[in-house]
Amino acid sequence: MATHLTEQAYSLLGKFHGKGKMVDRLANSEANNKRIGVVEGCFGTAGQPLAIPGRVLIGEGVLTKLCRKKPKARQFFLFNDILVYGNIVIQKKKYNKQHIIPLESVTIDTVADEGDLRNGWLIKTPTKSFAVYAATATEKSEWMSHIGKCVTDLLSKSGKAPSGEHAAVWVPDSEATICMRCLKVKFTPVSRRHHCRKCGFVVCGPCSDKKFLLPSQSSKPVRVCEFCYEQLSLGTGLHTGRPDPYGRSPGNNVSDDDDEDDSSD
């Protein structure tokens, strides 16, 4: 589905972006308030309120989100300060499982095309990172450009530096038939897959039987693999250049738990 951006939003993200004039004009407009109200209504009482002074709805569209089990369609809404997405229950009428991502913490990187997965990019934050795919190269370019401009504008206004820490993007379950650490345990209904919260690898139970506190992700200790636990315990926490037994490009085959029933693993 094509991304929907209003004419005013195109102006905001192009000629007028960064100057504040169009932002203020749209933020105080009845049309903008009405559009935000419609989005709130689609999420219902389970969603968080979205209407606050100064917030502008830039655009919306359906993107394919690479989840832990398989790619899934998700409805995304780009505001000038946050990115919101949710599950599609009834298109344009009802969404659930609302997620809100502050744009100040967002970094985006392109993902190379691979097979049927095309026109993708990574959305990375300290708390959650995942890959999404647009229907066309043009939509991908527009989404990345608009998100990037919003992030740049926010950081410029706040004087903050871009986030230097990002949560690992999970390798999808389907990409690992054996543990990516020990390379021995074969996954079965009994030997379940687990994900290390630090590196995102798919690992077996014995290779991920420890937990470590990662404050950016959770207030409680989370599951990590043996390799990451040792690095974190030593105080390094560095994973650049870590071995990838499948020899994949780090930009491909990356997913997110997406609130699966067993996402705690």
Tens of pLDDT, residue by residue over 103-160, are 999 999 999 998 889 999 999 999 999 999 999 999 999 999 999 999 999 999 888 8
Cα distance between residue 265 and residue 27, in whole Å:
41
| pLDDT tens digit sequence for 76-108 | 999 999 999 999 999 889 999 999 999 999 999
Structure tokens at 5: 């951006």
Q: Which domains does the chain have, with CATH numbers?
A: 4-158 (2.30.29.30), 168-265 (3.30.40.10)
Q: Is the dihedral of CA 257, 258, 262, 265 positive or negative?
A: positive
By mean pLDDT, which of 2-11, 78-87, 117-126, 242-251 is the weakest? 242-251
> What pLDDT sits at residue 121?
98
Residues 6+ apart with CB under 8 A from 127: 105, 167, 216, 217
Alpha helices by DSSP H, listed for 61-209, are 137-158
Beta strands 71-79 and 82-90, pairing class: antiparallel
Residue 105: name the closest of 167, 54, 12 by CA.
167
By mean pLDDT, which of 37-41, 140-144, 159-163, 216-220 is the weakest? 159-163
- Strand partners of residue 90: 94
Residues 6+ apart with CB under 8 A from 237: 198, 231
Rounded percentage of the chain residues whose pLDDT exceeds 90: 66
Considering the entire predicted model, what is its pTM?
0.77
